[in-house]
Amino acid sequence: MNKNIYKVFFFIFLVLIFSDFLTYTLKMPWPLSFWRRQWFMFSYSNDKLSRLLVLGKFENGKQEGIAMERWFSYFVGFETSRYNEISRGQESLGQLATYVCRQYNQEAGPKEKLKSVSIVSAVWSNQKSGRQKLEEVPKKDVRLYPHLVKSCL
Amino acid sequence: MISLLNKIFNNPFLDKDVPLFSLCLFRVGFCLLLCAQSLTWLPYTKELFSNQGFHQGALSMYALSPVLAKILCIVLIAAAFLSAIGFKTRGALLATLIIWTYFFSIDFINEKAFHSIAILDLLILVFSPCYVRFSVDDWLNAKNKQRDYPLSGSIMPLRLLQLQFCQVYFFSGLFKLMSKDWVSGHTLSQILTSRWATDFGVWIASWTPDAVFYFASVIIILYELFASLGLFIPQTRNYFIIFGIIFHALTLSALYVGYLGLYCILGLIVLFFDQKRLNDFIARAA
């Protein structure tokens, strides 16, 4: 293989690494950074656990939590699945709400369609002595943060 | 600029021929890791890569139907396996690279560092002569007396892989160094009870005193910052390799890091271990 190809690679690597360095040291958003996750490898943590709760309002007036496990079964970590790993920004949560509406209503019977969904974050403290699942935490120790309500119609 | 680059490229550090054992061995181990990672995806292709799943990625609108996503994942597993055993190596590596990149672009949710590292490593391997040893291709060529290629080559692909490896360490270390909570050991203790911790990690966190977390954090930061240098100095290389293997083995048992830990162990052993001793060892084993 022509050595020039490696030289091109090497040059690109240097540019990428230099851009990474600038991104970090000067805190500037740099579009060239390729290794998007490397700095985030356990670079922060807090003493809280959080899970998104998706509550559905049905056409028949009923209200209940939507079991997200039916669409998200890939293992990610303790008390979390892929849907729980998204940003808590409105756009990202809006996409999740749209997805839930679409998938649920695709599979539901004619009178069991979702009318709207609301997304809430449940946050509870993490104990050094051991982690607790959301279901095991006393209700008074769980804080709820409503994010959005989205119509499915 | 051009003359500076010429100076860099003509330096013996980058411009010399070496036996290709390490590169070929890295191909085998790395592609087996890709194969194993893809196998874990196979039961979940509908969720992870199909148009019935929830995605946030650059190409998420181009997700395929569940059946096609499953087939593509099977092709990825086969391509990664063929790359590992070295059968039609370059084509298999190229297929692995294309499908891996496509899957990567469909969904960034739960993205791991290993996912983007793999793309660059595959790109380097595609353009390298990593098939000349430990491959079915080489075995067939030797059998048919068509082994008309040298068993040594430019050190450049190996250096590129090393560079990619080291910069991950360096920037992770730099990021941690700038974080007050990391230096104090606070972040490390919290990570070991977070959603990323295994039960073993939580157990460790439950009895470890804060002072130990502080020292462990400082050591991790120093290791990550200086590994990029220490791994290239013959006198310190082995210490950095041994410490790195222990560090990654502990990380693997205490945190859900996926295949990154195994990748780092593989890289430390195959990419950095003294080339001459590695070559002698392989030659003796062969």
Distance (Å, whole) CA B265 – CA A115? 51
Per-residue pLDDT, A79: 87
Per-residue pLDDT, B11: 80
Going from N- to C-terminal start, the domains of chain B cover 16-144, 157-286
From the list A42, A71, A76, which residue is nearest B191 (CB)? Answer: A42
Contact by Cβ (8 Å): B194, A50: no
Looking at per-residue confidence, does B152 or A146 come out higher?
Answer: A146
Per-residue pLDDT, A9: 77
pTM: 0.90
| Best of A3, A7, A9 to mutate (most B CBs within 10 Å, chain B) | A9
Q: pLDDT tens-digit profile of B265-285?
A: 999 999 998 777 777 777 777
Q: Looking at A74-78, B11-15, B162-166, B198-202, which range is the least confident one?
A: B11-15
Which residues 138-157 on chain B approach chain A with CB closer than 8 angstroms? 153-154, 156-157
Distance (Å, whole) CA B80 – CA B74? 10
Partners of residue B101 in chain A, C-beta under 8 Å: none
Per-residue pLDDT, B162: 92
Per-residue pLDDT, B178: 85
Partners of residue A92 in chain B, C-beta under 8 Å: 56
A43 Cβ contact list (under 8 Å, min separation 6): B172, B175, B176, B179, B182, B187
User: Does B248 score more than 90 pLDDT?
Assistant: yes
Encoded tokens for B104? 């990567």
Per-residue pLDDT, A1: 56
Partners of residue B206 in chain A, C-beta under 8 Å: 128-130
Q: Looking at A27-36, B15-24, B34-43, which range is the least confident one?
A: A27-36
Per-residue pLDDT, A60: 84
Per-residue pLDDT, A39: 53
Average pLDDT over residues B139-165: 88
Distance (Å, whole) CA B281 – CA B260? 26
At B108, the pLDDT band (50, 70, 90 cuts) reads confident
pLDDT by residue, tens only, chain A of 153 residues: 567 777 777 777 777 777 777 766 666 655 456 666 555 566 666 788 899 999 999 988 889 999 999 999 999 988 899 999 998 999 999 999 999 999 999 988 887 889 999 999 999 988 777 788 898 899 999 999 999 999 997
DSSP tally for chain A: helices H, then strands E: 2, 4
Strands A48-58 vs B152-154: parallel, antiparallel or unpaired:
unpaired
Per-residue pLDDT, A118: 95
Beta strand ranges found along A24-129 (DSSP E): 48-58, 63-65, 114-125
In degrees to the nearest 10, what's the CA dihedral of B51, B54, B57, B58? Answer: 30
Beta strand ranges found along B86-209 (DSSP E): 152-154
Q: Looking at A74-78, B62-66, B104-108, B275-279, which range is the least confident one?
A: B275-279
How large is the ipTM? 0.86
User: Does B179 score more than 70 pLDDT?
Assistant: yes
Per-residue pLDDT, A32: 53
| B187 inside 8 A of chain A by CB | yes
Per-residue pLDDT, A43: 62
User: Does B198 score more than 80 pLDDT?
Assistant: yes
Nearest CA in chain B to A93: B56
| Average pLDDT of the residues of chain B | 90
Per-residue pLDDT, A27: 63
Phi/psi zone of residue B258: left (φ > 0), alpha (ψ -120 to 50 degrees), beta? Answer: left
Average pLDDT over residues B55-69: 93
Which residues 223-252 on chain B approach chain A with CB closer than 8 angstroms? none
